[in-house]
Amino acid sequence: MKDIPHPISSINSNFITEVTSFIRVRGLSYSTEKTYLHWIRSFIKFCGYQSRQDISAKDISSYLNHLVTKQNVSPNTQKTALNALVFLCRELLKQNTESLSFKRAKKGPKVPEVFSHSEALAVIDHLPLPSKIIAQLMYGSGLRINEACRLRIADVDFEASSVTVRNGKGNRDRKTLLPNSLHAPLQQQIAMVNILHERDLDNGFGEVYMPYALAKKFPAQARGLGWQYLFPAPKLSTDPRSGRVMRHHITDRAVQKHVMKGIRAAQIIKKAGCHTFRHSFATRLLESGTDLRNIQELLGHSDIKTTQIYTHVAGLHKTGVKSPLDKT
């Protein structure tokens, strides 16, 4: 249950406890919380701070320069560290962060690897259930691996042929496509979850983790079918905060292992993994003429520049440009 926030009291440092509380009050996602705390701890260690009063926004530039010159981090990594430290100094400590000056990481964005349609289907065909359906959602709906694993039954709308992704990257909700070909497999998956859930209820369990203290507001819903994970874990586990025994969702790692085996079984030599399905989803849509803004919305990108990378993946040949070697 690694994606469930642990009790703040389990964190030893008083200041980190304060930061964690502030992050949670601001409603940031747990993945953002973990990322910000990582960079804040690293910043504190780098600067050798001994107390809260020592922390200064003036040291952010030196730390970011260190990340580039000594650790050779990517632009995205440096940007993430910057966001975390600006959040710390400007939002929590109320310090001025407008005059930061530092060396920017200059590694260019890499063109993502994609599967051809036949390659994607070949990998999927080698996967066992439920990893097969999860891979189909990554390829057919553009979901990230963690978004697919964390889907609840209520997030699937068969009538509208849509999937709702809640608290995705950037703590944003969005809707994306539900392929018609997945209606029957998902209905079978829900039927299986229902049987498993009824068994858990009979054994005195059946409660599921609900975010933002919703379980206290709506205690009955924590045992309802709609909130159950679409892809439940094979075993019950203990909620680290409440001590209650619950059934969480399947782990990302379990699916990743199956996908890597599927890639090898399909004899694909590309540097690929679960995220390759999402890249392939975007590329297929672009090749079919889907507007870039629509693709951005389906993928949940906050910046259109992130989506534009797929114009390089699709290739110039899609615009009608021919190699001189092919001209007659």
- Helix H, strand E, coil C: the string for the chain is CCCCCCCHHHCCCHHHHHHHHHHHHCCCCHHHHHHHHHHHHHHHHHHCCCCHHHCCHHHHHHHHHHHHHCCCCCHHHHHHHHHHHHHHHHHHCCCCCCCCCCCCCCCCCCCCCCCCHHHHHHHHHCCCCCHHHHHHHHHHHCCCHHHHHCCEHHHEECCCCEEEECCCCCCCCEEEECCHHHHHHHHHHHHHHHHHHHHHHHCCCCCCCCCCCHHHHCCCHHHCCCCCECCECCCCEECCCCCCEECCECCHHHHHHHHHHHHHHCCCCCCCCHHHHHHHHHHHHHHCCCCHHHHHHHHCCCCHHHHHHHHHHHCHHHHCCCCHHHCC
pLDDT at 9: 43
Query: What is the C-alpha separation between 184 and 85, in angstroms, rounded?
Result: 47
Instruction: Show which residues are catalytic.
Output: 144, 169, 275, 278, 301, 310
Residue 317's pLDDT is what?
47
Structural domains present in the chain: 8-92 (1.10.150.130), 110-318 (1.10.443.10)
Residue 8: what pLDDT? 46
pLDDT of 36 reads 94
> Which parts of the chain sit beneath pLDDT 50?
8-12, 316-317
How far, in Å, CA of 55 to CA of 65, rounded? 17
Contact 166, 148 (CB under 8 A): no
User: How many Å is the maximal CA-CA distance in the chain?
Assistant: 75
Tokens of 234: 């094979």
Q: Round to whole Å and give the CA distance between 35 and 43.
A: 12
pLDDT of residue 11: 40
Q: What pLDDT does residue 27 have?
A: 74
Distance CA 144, CA 151 (A): 11
Q: pTM for the full model? A: 0.75
